[in-house]
């Protein structure tokens, strides 16, 4: 499959704890993105990290990228019940006929208990 | 950011019939995408729809089954033809944010085929 692998498939934590989700991919990337989906609704873009970057922060989110291992991780610190959602990594493809296309991973279902 | 609406939000259809899903954007965009999300699965790109050209379909998707129209820079439709229960999915449209990187997603159309 061209889709990335994510682990864990499901994660259940208590409010205040940190949540870490991992994403691996097989082919070269232009960038790696993370999206959030609430209850089967539309996706919301969270953060993008480019292939020449190693770490990026946005609020309580921290993303790392290791291109040698073809993997990325998303860390949500001090989680809240409102963070409960599905999280997907998406590989931004190189140019040419793949310009603008995204390839999504399988996703991690995060449940944060109050 | 772009605001995207989809119609209908959900529908229940009989096998053998067709359903046309509309996607409306509040600004002019070049690239629009249609995705399918089967129950409990990730997103799979169906096709890329650029105004003024034929839609480009991904492997496993054909125009006869999923005809797409893109009459202008703010609107697109996806038709799911001759439906079977296997077509039960959430169908999402998205638009490129402008740089060929991130995408904005519509709320999705939840389709159940009986």
| Domain residue extents for chain A | 5-113
Report the SS3 class of residue A89: strand
For residue B88, which residues of chain A lie inside 8 Å, CB to CB? none
Q: Do residue B105 and residue A101 have CB atoms under 8 angstroms apart?
A: no
**Host domain of residue B79:** 4-113
Asked if the C-beta of B45 comes within 8 angstroms of chain A's C-beta atoms, the answer is yes
Q: How far apart are CA A14 and CA A29, in angstroms?
A: 34
Over the stretch A67-98, which tens digit does the pLDDT of each residue have? 999 999 999 999 999 999 999 999 987 666 66
In sequence order, the 6+-apart residues with CB closer than 8 A to the CB of A96 are none
For residue B37, which residues of chain A lie inside 8 Å, CB to CB? 40
Over the stretch A38-68, which tens digit does the pLDDT of each residue have? 987 889 999 999 999 999 999 999 999 999 9
Asked if the C-beta of A102 comes within 8 angstroms of chain B's C-beta atoms, the answer is yes
DSSP B26: S
Mean pLDDT (whole number) for B22-32: 94
Over the stretch B39-98, which tens digit does the pLDDT of each residue have? 999 999 999 998 888 899 999 999 999 999 999 999 999 999 999 999 999 999 999 887
Distance of CA B62 to the CA centre of its chain: 13
Q: How far apart are CA B81 and CA B21, in angstroms?
A: 11
Residue A8 has pLDDT above 60, yes or no: yes
**pLDDT at A1 (0 to 100):** 42
Q: How far apart are CA B72 and CA A105, in angstroms?
A: 31
Distance of CA B56 to the CA centre of its chain: 13
CATH topology of domain A5-113: Immunoglobulin-like (2.60.40)
**pLDDT at A7 (0 to 100):** 87
Cβ–Cβ under 8 Å, residues B87 and B65: no
**pLDDT at A4 (0 to 100):** 67
Provide φ and ψ at B85, rounded to 5°: -55, -25
Give the HSE-up count for residue A25: Cα atoms under 13 Å, Cβ half-sphere. Answer: 28
Give the HSE-up count for residue A96: Cα atoms under 13 Å, Cβ half-sphere. Answer: 4
How many A-B residue pairs are in contact by the CB < 8 A criterion?
57
Q: How far apart are CA B110 and CA B114, in angstroms?
A: 13
For residue B56, which residues of chain A lie inside 8 Å, CB to CB? 97
- Burial of residue A1 (CB within 10 Å: 0-12, 13-18, 19+) is exposed
Q: Do residue A105 and residue B42 have CB atoms under 8 angstroms apart?
A: yes
Q: What is the least distance, in Å, from the CA of A7 to any CA of chain B?
A: 13
Number of domains in chain B: 1
Q: Do residue A103 and residue B45 have CB atoms under 8 angstroms apart?
A: yes
We report the CATH number of the domain holding residue B40 as 2.60.40.10
Q: How far apart are CA A76 and CA A52, in angstroms?
A: 22
- How big is chain B, counted in residues? 114
Find residues 88-107 of chain B whose CB sits inside 8 Å of chain A: 90, 92, 94, 96-97, 100-107
Q: What share of chain A is helix, strand, coil (3-state, %, to 5)?
A: 5, 55, 40
Which has more confidence, A99 or B54?
A: B54
Q: How many beta carbons lie within 10 A of that of residue B52, not counting itself?
A: 9
First to last CA, chain B: 37
């Amino acid at each position: 499959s061209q889709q990335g692998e994510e682990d864990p498939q499901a994660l259940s934590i208590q409010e205040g704890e940190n949540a870490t989700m991992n994403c691996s991919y097989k082919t070269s990337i232009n960038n790696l993105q993370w999206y959030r989906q609430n209850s089967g609704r539309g996706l919301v873009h969270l953060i993008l990290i480019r292939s020449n970057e190693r770490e990026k922060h946005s609020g309580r989110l921290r993303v790392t990228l290791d291109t040698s291992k073809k993997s990325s991780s998303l860390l949500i610190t001090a989680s809240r019940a409102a963070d409960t959602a599905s999280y997907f990594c998406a590989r931004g493809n190189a140019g040419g006929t793949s310009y603008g296309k995204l390839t999504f991973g399988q996703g991690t279902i995060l449940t944060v208990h109050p | 950011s772009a605001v995207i609406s989809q119609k209908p939000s959900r529908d229940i259809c009989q096998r053998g019939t067709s359903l046309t899903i509309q996607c409306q954007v509040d600004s002019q965009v070049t690239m629009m995408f249609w995705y399918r999300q089967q129950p409990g699965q990730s997103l799979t790109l169906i096709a890329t729809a650029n105004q003024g050209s034929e839609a480009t379909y991904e492997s496993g998707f054909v125009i006869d089954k999923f005809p797409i129209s893109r009459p202008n820079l703010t609107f697109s439709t996806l038709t799911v033809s001759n439906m079977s229960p296997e077509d039960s999915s959430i169908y999402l449209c998205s638009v490129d944010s402008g740089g060929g990187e991130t995408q904005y997603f519509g709320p999705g159309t939840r389709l159940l085929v009986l």
